[in-house]
Amino acid sequence: MAYYYNEVSRTFSEYLLIPNLTRRDCVPNNIRLTTPLIKFKKGERSPLVLNVPFVSAMMQAVSNDTLAISLAKCGGVSFIYCSQSIIEQVEMIKRVKKFKAGFVVSDANLTSEHTLRDVLKLKEKIGYSTIAITEDGSPQKKLMGLVTTRDYRISRDHLGKKVKEFMTPFSKLIVGKEGISLSEANDIIWEHKLNCLPIIDNNQNLMYLVFRKDYDEHKKNPNELLDSGKRFVVGAGINTRDYAERVPELVKAGVDVLCVDSSDGFSEWQKDTIEYVKEKYSDKVKVGGGNVVDKEGFMYLVEAGADFVKVGIGGGSICITREQKGIGRGQASAVIEVAKARDEYYEKTGIYVPLCSDGGIVHDYHAVLALAMGANFIMMGRYFARFDESPAKKVKIGNNYVKEYWGEGSNRARNWQRYDMGEDGKLHFEEGVESYVPYAGRLQDNLAASLSKIKSTMCSCGANSIKELQRTARITLVSSTSIIEGGAHDVILKENNY
């Protein structure tokens, strides 16, 4: 006989938070939004912690390298989509890892016998202008000099001019020695008004480059999420079909964390994928699983070795899985049940498995509800698709700018691997739609506004951290009429014409 859940499947919009006492220390500047991304043992700290509880969805319209860089600057993580070739996904990961670092291994090198033409060609390819000149043109060989845009003038120097004729030679460079700290390197940069400081070993071999712009960026973005090498943290989606070919290349590229991209994670294919990653690469990369909506699904993925579990089926703004297949659950109900299972597992084993709430976020306060109900961080697609940094095209419709937004289960994305049923490789019907979202500008500006609302809500709840919020939050169900009462009503709104 079928099993029946007697409780109604509920969404975030059916709940409100009841205020707790706002203490004097409960002010926005004191709110800590750090949260664990991957599992850890009782008494220990998670090896990977987010500075803000947001990650971007593994979608073609959302998570490319540009958005990954912007979100990492703000303290979150992007999971770069896997519905593209392995080579393309790997290149995106590499661009994120190379964009900012304390000590950068130079991958843009020439010899002194190359020409200005070679310099311009390489500059166009890599997108930045500082080029190390080494003995044989390979990284970490004897440093002969540096070339920047200050060393040549395209209007006067002929393209065949040899690099040795215009480079800044080693004898005129200020350099640091291997073993120097990042703080000491930055002091040298400021003292000598440099843009770049080469770091060499005792044999004059180039080891690293340290850039002034990295220091400036860090000061502007104190919440930056960096790895042990001071590079941005970045995630990647993987699927249950080509993981044996895709994962090794992503690991080589330096990816920090993986997530199996699937609409329904309660499957043997996902178990196989997670077990492969844990067996082959557990010391190099972590992997999350999902999506699930109940205790059984959560336990299945945890026992397979998942480092975090993603919760939610059918709640995304462009997702029509519930409509097409009748599969899913209200996001609030799903998070509540899975969080309870997670806490029981923690009490039993001493292992804490973070939860990612994926879908169902309409308003910023829904994020606070998801966190209060037990989620550790939130994955969003529509929210991030609106910004300049997303890969989707910006178009004008009427008098308004919008950005294109499409689901991975739409005919446009054709990400059949996400909906893999273990047979032929094709999408038999759509589980996502194509749409537009209102264009919203820069990620950093919008995220700052959202975080401000979230911190204000947490202050009203008397919680200075996500952990405290989960321990002390009081949550109430609301009626449809109380939802209407919560907005502007029984008034004639003014139109602002200024």
Q: Produce one character per residue of 12-27: b if its CB has 16 or more CB atoms within 10 Å, e if not.
A: bbbbbbeebeeeeebe
176: enclosing H helix or E strand: strand 176-177
Distance of CA 270 to the CA centre of its chain: 21
Q: Fill in the amino acid letter for 250.
A: L
Active site residue 319: yes
Contact 308, 274 (CB under 8 A): no
Closest CA to 256 of 394, 446, 72: 72
Question: How far is it, in rounded angstroms, from Cα 38 to Cα 46?
Answer: 6
Mapped onto helix, strand or coil, the DSSP state of residue 380 is: strand
Beta bridge partners of 41: 351
Residue 190: half-sphere exposure toward Cβ, Cα within 13 Å: 9
Query: Which residues have a Cβ under 8 Å from the Cβ of 94 and sit 6 or more positions away?
Result: 253, 254
Quick check: 167 and 145 in contact, CB under 8 A? yes
- Whether residue 30 contacts residue 45, with contact meaning beta carbons closer than 8 Å, is answered with no
What phi and psi values does residue 263 have, to the nearest 5 degrees? -70, -30
- Phi-psi bin for 441: left (phi > 0), alpha (psi -120 to 50), beta? left
Kindly name the residue from 319, 356, 459, 461 that is annotated as catalytic: 319
**At 468, is the secondary structure helix, strand, or coil?**
helix
Q: Which amino acid is at 399?
A: N
Amino acid at 440: A
The 10 Å CB-count burial string (b at 16+, else e) for 186-200 is beebeeeebebbbbb
SS3 label, residue 334: helix
Catalytic residue at 329?
no
The answer to whether residues 53 and 466 touch, using CB atoms and an 8 Å cutoff, is yes
Q: Which of 95, 231, 246, 418 is catalytic?
A: 418
- Amino acid in position 258: L
Instruction: Catalogue the active-site residues.
Output: 319, 418
